[in-house]
Copies of this chain bind each other. A is one copy, B any other.
Amino acid sequence: MLPIVKGLLAGERRALARAISIIDNDESESREIIKQIFGKTGDARTVGFTGPGGAGKSSLVGKLIPECQALGYKVAILAVDPTSPVTGGAILGDRVRMQDNLDDEKVFMRSMASRGAVGGVSKSLRNAIRILDAAGYNLVLVESVGAGQLEIEISRVVDLTVVVFTPHTGDNVQAVKAGLTEIGDMYVVNKADLEGANTLYLTILDLIGDTERKPVVLKTSAKTKKGVRELAKNIDKLLKEKSINYKERGRKMLEDELRDMVLNAVEKKASIMLASSNKYSEFVDKLTKKEIDPYAAAEELAAGLFG
């Protein structure tokens, strides 16, 4: 067993942090770590928090921690930052409030980069959750910053998705109409002390009223802590209700993961073959001379390379 795995199984925070970094950076040790801990996973439940930037997700998640601990969970937080695919650096540095909890030995918090292609996030996230799971955390709260594709991706990887709105962020109604209703198991109007909160609450109720799933809609205020305990209780309840289906859902998630990984491997291989193919630059030549169109070129090239 790798020393780092021994460390994280023993609950050493430094080993845990390092292991997640290895996963997040897709370092070569990732594979061996996952191999060694995989058999010890499957117990952690995961909740994603998503919604427009400025909705106060960080603060809300911060306030949720003690409430979830009071319900008996050992809580870890993963914050997914949208990063520039160019520099890999995080655009948002607004995590400071949450970091207050870092000193608390009972909670573990990590920010992850969502670098590289869509799809990369799922892989990092799945494996980071496994590491936390193996280290004994049984509730992982995943926070993401609103960005369409990323939200959908995260919702595929977690057990429950909570969508957070506030009266102050624009386009709430449009967002609700346009798809966030389809990923949310629960809706929260945060900053409920602000003007317009009740109207937004009623609008959301109205908009999602027709959906089959009938998700829970709640009002919270991270500032006054109002509604935060109720949110924790609802999350707990829903996780327990849903757990009847965890076997099925777990299988579906593994199926997705395996598919992603195989397609990724195939693409990587194809990319290498392409780069070293003479045909490739021949076809680019033909394209620049307009002797062939892009569809025909791609088809002929793909057929030539991969039968």
Contact = CB atoms under 8 A, between A and B. Distances in A.
A83 interface: yes
Interface in A247-268: 247, 250-251, 254-255, 257-259, 261-267
Nearest to A82: B148
A71 interface: no
A41 to B, nearest CB: 8
A180 B84 contact: yes
Interface string A256-298: 0111011111110111001000001101100110100111111
A16 to B, nearest CB: 19
Interface stretch (A3-11, A56-64, A87-95): A87-95
14 contacts: A84-B179, A84-B182, A92-B174, A250-B288, A254-B284, A254-B294, A257-B294, A258-B297, A261-B297, A262-B302, A263-B270, A263-B271, A267-B270, A269-B306
Contacts of A43: none
Interface string A188-205: 000000000000000000
A293 B35 contact: yes
Contacts of A93: 174
Contacts of A147: 147-149
Contacts of A288: 247, 250-251, 254
A288 B247 CA distance: 9
A222 interface: no
B295 A34 contact: yes
A1 interface: no
A185 B89 CA distance: 20
A287 to B, nearest CB: 5
Interface string A54-98: 100000000000000000000000000011111101111100000
Contact of A284 (B91, B148, B258): B258
Contacts of A182: 84, 86-87
Contacts of A86: 152, 179, 182-183
Given A86-B183, A266-B270, 5 more contacts: A35-B296, A54-B170, A147-B147, A262-B298, A262-B301
A257 B290 CA distance: 14
A278 to B, nearest CB: 14
B287 A258 contact: yes
Interface in A136-156: 147-149, 152
A39 B290 contact: yes
A210 interface: no
